[in-house]
Amino acid sequence: MTDISLGPAPARRERLRRRIRLLVTATITYNVIEAVVAIAAGTTASSAALIGFGLDSVVEVASAAAVAWQFSRPDHEKREQTALKVIAVSFFALAAYVTVDAVRTLLGAGEADHSTPGLVLAAVSLVIMPLLSAAQRRAGRELGSASAVADSKQTLLCTYLSAVLLIGLALNSLFGWSWADPIAALVIAAVAVNEGREAWRGDACCATPTIGTREPSGAATCSDGCCGGEEEPAT
């Protein structure tokens, strides 16, 4: 038989919208602080990696601001595609910068000094960013918001960059291996391009309407599993 699966109740949807707005505000606040500290520390240490990390934080702010703008109105679904496009462009911009910066570093464009503030910042971000990303992804999936899920992926990407930065700074400080950071950064850039393509196409999460349905076969209408993948099969 066909199973009709209702979306979140109106009261629950409103709580999810408030939660997403709160998480986006926290993400913006942290990334502004992160950008200021990273760029200042990077300038002091002549570290292209730290400066790039700070600029990534600026991209994070743009992505989160797009989601905040979307959820500033009750009819946030109407702004979904515009927010996704902004997030996609931010992914592409991040990938472009990281790629150029990594290539410049591999070609020997300067050597970075040891940076204690940079190491501390990378370690703290490695703890905070996964928590923010997971919380926003859960809320976005339950609400069926593709832009909220896409922004959570942007935050998760910042986690990867934090790990890359921490490893790169540590290896440079301990062994003088200046090539480690740009190589890993190129991998992150490739991931960013892929996430940007998904956000541009609207594939970050299936946008769930107020009432979701299953096909007669029992398969969920969501193809990526982000909205309906955890439901039990219809019987």
Tell me the mean pLDDT in the region 134-155.
83
Collapsing DSSP states into helix, strand and coil, what is residue 109? coil
Q: Is the model's pLDDT at 64 over the cut of 60?
A: yes
Least confident of 52-66, 120-134, 193-207: 193-207
Give percent of the chain above pLDDT 70. Answer: 78
Residues in the chain: 235
* Alpha carbon separation from 201 to 26, 27, 84, 143 (Å, rounded): 27, 24, 8, 19
The angle at the Cα of 90, spanning 152 to 200, to the nearest 5 degrees, equals 80
Please give the Cα distance from 214 to 228 (Å, whole number).
9
Q: Report the pLDDT value the prediction gives residue 173, as an integer from 0 to 100.
A: 83
Rank 41-50, 79-88, 196-205 by mean pLDDT and report only the highest: 41-50
Between residues 210 and 153, the one the model is more confident about: 153
Q: Report the pLDDT value the prediction gives residue 122, as an integer from 0 to 100.
A: 92
Least confident of 77-81, 148-152, 207-211: 207-211
Between residues 38 and 222, the one the model is more confident about: 38
Q: Report the pLDDT value the prediction gives residue 120, as an integer from 0 to 100.
A: 94
Least confident of 13-22, 79-88, 161-170: 79-88
Least confident of 33-47, 101-115, 134-148, 204-218: 204-218
Q: Report the pLDDT value the prediction gives residue 203, as an integer from 0 to 100.
A: 55
Residues 6+ apart with CB under 8 A from 165: 49, 50, 53, 118, 122, 181
Q: Report the pLDDT value the prediction gives residue 76, as an integer from 0 to 100.
A: 63
Rank 105-114, 127-136, 170-179 by mean pLDDT and report only the highest: 127-136
Which tokens hold the place of 195?
């996430």
Please give the Cα distance from 213 to 189 (Å, whole number).
37
Q: Report the pLDDT value the prediction gives residue 232, as an integer from 0 to 100.
A: 38
Please give the Cα distance from 147 to 71 (Å, whole number).
10
> Closest by alpha carbon to 89, among 57, 59, 54?
59
What confidence tens digit (pLDDT) does each residue in 89-105 have?
A: 888 988 888 788 878 87
Tell me the mean pLDDT in the region 205-220.
41
Q: Residue 206 region, left (φ>0) first, then alpha (ψ -120 to 50), else beta?
A: beta
Rg (CA), the chain: 20
